[in-house]
Amino acid sequence: MTKYLVIYEQGDDGAWGAYSPDLEGAFALGRTRKEVEERMHEAVAAYIEVMTEDGLPIPDPCHEAGYVTVPAKVSDRP
């Protein structure tokens, strides 16, 4: 099993988007976080399948994410 970083972003309209910085072109959109997670799983699987069928190398995961805590209050989203 290989684990790829996925970035989830919520838009101002409440919809969600996701992408993997390790897999250029693998992205998904959805109305909810759960929906975009499911679609992103499908997008990554399809991306790897196409790369394999085309005989292209599958990128190794090389991105990581973390958080930084700062003493600032962030306003709530509407």
Nearest 10 degrees: Cα torsion 2, 16, 9, 42: 10
**Are 30 and 16 a contacting pair, CB within 8 Å?**
yes
| Average confidence (pLDDT) over 48-68 | 95
Contact 66, 51 (CB under 8 A): no
Instruction: Look at 36 and 74; give whichever has higher pLDDT.
Output: 36
What is the set of domains in the chain, with CATH numbers?
A: 1-78 (3.30.160.250)
Tokens 């997008």 identify what position? 43
Q: What percent of the chain has pLDDT over 90?
A: 86
Q: What is the pLDDT of residues 7-38, one digit of tens each?
A: 999 999 999 999 999 999 899 999 999 999 99
